[in-house]
A and B are shown apart, each in its own frame.
Chain A
């Protein structure tokens, strides 16, 4: 978790609201992935990013390699958005993904 710092560590959201998660990198990240881990432990792919921005439904993610950070925006939060969000970065020396500690998101009615 030192090389990839996620914030906040936990988030409680009311249904219908918006929020943002952030990752700061102290490695030379070239690509970033965001995952959602459900209570059963499965990691669902949300985004794979080279520097730039992607959007998928109510989720939007950005990766700025020069400033070494990535963000994940959740718009109009739904109950099914609950889970732990992980960001992970890979550097050019191909040692696999380095993960943050995750942000635990709870969406309530």
Chain B
């Protein structure tokens, strides 16, 4: 049963465009995350966020930014997409750090 909801499922866009992906969790969790899964299926964390702290993976380019309106929502904005941004972006949440993490179904981004 899904409790982390992502939209859209798929998005195709051109190089240089801005995109935004939405994520909402209904689990009452305090911490949310964005992960990127590349074409080789490697999953890497991009951001970890709760109401007190944003932790950014140092390898994430500055054109990526998380946006949160409340603890149930964490969107992902990409300011000017590049071809290497083509991937599946997975949103996740957990009650707090070091507790069980639950994932959404992902948003597949294709940059042409």
Chain A: residues with CB nearer than 8 A to chain B?
A: 1, 30-31, 33, 35, 37, 40-43, 45, 48, 84, 86, 88, 90, 92, 94-99, 101-102
Contacts and interface: CB of A to CB of B under 8 A. Distances in A.
Contact of A41 (B97, B102, B106): B106
Nearest to B88: A41
Interface of B: 33, 35, 37, 40-45, 48, 55, 57, 88, 90, 97-103, 105-106, 108
5 contacts: A31-B99, A45-B102, A96-B48, A96-B57, A99-B44
Contact of B41 (A30, A97, A101): A101
**SS class, residues of chain A in contact with chain B:** strand
Contacts of B44: 99
A95 B42 contact: no
B98 A90 contact: yes
Given A43-B103, A92-B98, A101-B41, 18 more contacts: A1-B42, A30-B98, A33-B100, A33-B101, A35-B103, A41-B105, A41-B108, A43-B90, A45-B102, A84-B41, A86-B43, A88-B43, A94-B97, A96-B33, A96-B48, A96-B101, A97-B101, A102-B41
Nearest to B45: A96
Contacts, number: 58
A99 B40 CA distance: 13
Contacts of A48: 99-100
A7 to B, nearest CB: 15
Contact of A96 (B41, B42, B55, B106): B55
Contacts of B105: 40-42
A98 B98 CA distance: 12
Contact of A94 (B35, B37, B40, B55): B55
